[in-house]
Structure 1
């Protein structure tokens, strides 16, 4: 008879046989019980929010049994937004801490240990798969003084959100997400006008190619990635290909994306979407709708079908957006369920009375009242308003 014992994930070791998951924060299940043959499996369980497993103590891993590894699969059922919010905050804070350290060491031309950074990325992904809106909402609400840090975190969150909605298994996307986080590391060895384009004033004159068209940063990024070592081919591919375009108009090689996998096609759009939204034009930042309109005009450069899917995944009013309603109320977009123009909103302010109101959640897709979104609300009016209410 098997001896089944509950084992905290922190005590799980190579060589143990897992029969079932007994406690988790995520949405996964064992598709076939099996051995813990290496640390990668343990890291995957941690990343997916597993807290405790049931181990058969009578079984021990022996040579030749590696083909009977534990197999798990993701379930695509959302954890409630409010339940995931605090966990998402912790996951984001941990990843930002590791990413800041990594960027600092790269800027100083030092080598950083990618292991803790990689584990933090997996925890970030696990939160995104429990509830993609919670993670994206927090990331978009945050203010980053370092443009490169904010751009990396946001594109990774968009990427994770899109993969989740498209039902890509979480264990298949980890290396792509690491690529999103590191895709612009080549800029960290370049001048400040390239690293921090958001700090340029209206009156500053900087050549367009100095800010946006900088092919050298791709080669720099690949060289840095090689120095780091141990990065997966998918991660390197994001660094290498994120500025290539479907019609061959991109750089550094001008390679057409007709034969490139969907993961790269997705990221080229996400990278450009975030750049459009966070690079000021005449002192003003474009809204998500304006960014989408620009992308739709670039239909030859991007996969139009995937662009439509990304718009649906992220939403016309992405989570974390501050919006103004017809009633004069202001709210934070929390997420959307079936309608990209009628999201769930946390109401926080009355723009007509110029005062804060009792916080309440309104689901425009379910509510029978006639209130509707009429515009985005300028976040710089209250720079920390969204963060305070999340």
Structure 2
């Protein structure tokens, strides 16, 4: 089991898996080895390194009386700011950004597929391989925050693993902006999102794609993917402690019910608390083998009911990213019109732009038009969310995205 500890907690018999920081910062020619000499511990102390990763399956763990703090939250960013991060550029039209975002999703999916294949084969990878795409995702979120994160939900079950990484990357960055984190940490959050599930590359495909419920033994195999992924990233020696920490701890829960270390509260780093929300949201809103997708609106409502699982402040910030009425939600207006949410209002969660297309009173289609519920001249408002299944509508995502969505992926690079 991988565990991050402070240098002050080192003792003879521990197995050093990796040092936090550059390979040039430590005095050893190798990065992982069994500590069998007190002089080696003195050298590590003298190097100025603050933290490192140990493998408790190959060496000693922390003393029992030092638990329960099995993972030291890495480099916790400053306290979350209450105000929203200012946008330095005006939004462009949602329809225009959807075109940019579609191409960007396809290119990022291809890059993730290539990077994961390299990691699976033990080939060295570098953050620079995808850092330019993360910068482009940041630009897309600045131009219009709804386009890319809404499009990424439209993945097929066959491309789930790779597009899930793209989606969580965008969600992590959007959330980081909402929490007013510095630009450098926003980009690092995106890198963590892209790589958080890399350990699943080593899980048998038949297990990942199994439609029926997993057996206890199968679930135990699946639960090993965070530690497998963290080891893969540590072995490359090119990714930051925050990125590795998210890979290892994105399934931890604030109430201690998660895995692999059953951390609770602020024992879980800020980035991993963010990833828990983003990963869960994209998982439940994605169609997977044998598992139908929830709508974004249903996902937000159900996640809000899971008391104790998520950091409340982070979850509330996440809701402000996605919206109470997320893009693609079917809503009933007080006028009796049914509409699909097109995009969020910049300051109000209750007044999105909506494309109306059906009369619930007449039970028939009406002329489609987009209304801005925030406009003073618009004397209508949302009465509530409606079930797509109840009305039997098909292809509603085409109404807000403007994209023809069939059974094939919309994220092909060809």
Q: In which range does the TM-score fall when normalised by the shorter chain?
A: 0.5 to 0.7
| SS at structure 2 position matched to 1:146 | helix
2:272 counterpart residue number: 264
CA distance in 2, matches of 1:213, 1:318: 35
Q: Deviations over 1:139-181 (max 9, x none)?
A: 2344452221232122222222222223323232212211111
| SS at structure 1 position matched to 2:238 | coil
2:93 counterpart residue number: 81
1:377 counterpart residue number: 388
Match of 2:250 among 242, 252, 265: 242
Q: Deviations over 1:193-219 (max 9, x none)?
A: 54336xx1xxx3432673598331011
C-alpha distance 93-146 of structure 1, shift in aligned 2 (>3 A) = closer
- Answer whether contact 2:342 2:400 (CA < 8 A) is retained: no
- Answer whether contact 1:146 1:196 (CA < 8 A) is retained: no
- Report the TM-score when normalising by structure 2: 0.64
Q: Deviations over 1:230-263 (max 9, x none)?
A: 1122211110111122232221112223244433
- Kindly indicate whether residue 287 of structure 2 is the aligned counterpart of residue 275 of structure 1: no
1:300 counterpart residue number: 308
2:298 counterpart residue number: 290
1:67 counterpart residue number: none
1:221 counterpart residue number: 229
- C-alpha RMSD of matched pairs (Å): 3.4
CA distance in 1, matches of 2:185, 2:127: 19
- Report the TM-score when normalising by structure 1: 0.68
Specify every segment of 5 or more residues in structure 2 that has no aligned partner in the other structure, as ranges.
1-84, 404-414
Q: Deviations over 1:86-128 (max 9, x none)?
A: 3333332321221122234445555545423221122112221
CA distance in 1, matches of 2:207, 2:248: 18
Query: Offset of 1:270 from its aligned partner?
Result: 1.8
Query: Offset of 1:295 from its aligned partner?
Result: 2.6
Choose between structure 1 and 2: higher strand proportion.
Answer: 1
C-alpha distance 280-98 of structure 1, shift in aligned 2 (>3 A) = closer
- Kindly indicate whether residue 138 of structure 2 is the aligned counterpart of residue 125 of structure 1: yes
Matches within 5 A, 1:1-390: 75-82=87-94, 83-107=96-120, 110-112=123-125, 114-143=127-156, 145-196=158-209, 200=211, 204-207=212-215, 210=218, 214-278=222-286, 284-319=292-327, 321-326=328-333, 327-347=336-356, 358=368, 360-366=369-375, 368-370=378-380, 372=382, 374-377=385-388, 381-382=394-395, 385=398, 389=402
Specify every segment of 5 or more residues in structure 1 that has no aligned partner in the other structure, as ranges.
1-72
Aligned length, in residue pairs: 311
Query: Offset of 1:315 from its aligned partner?
Result: 0.9
- Answer whether contact 2:92 2:144 (CA < 8 A) is retained: yes
| SS at structure 2 position matched to 1:180 | helix
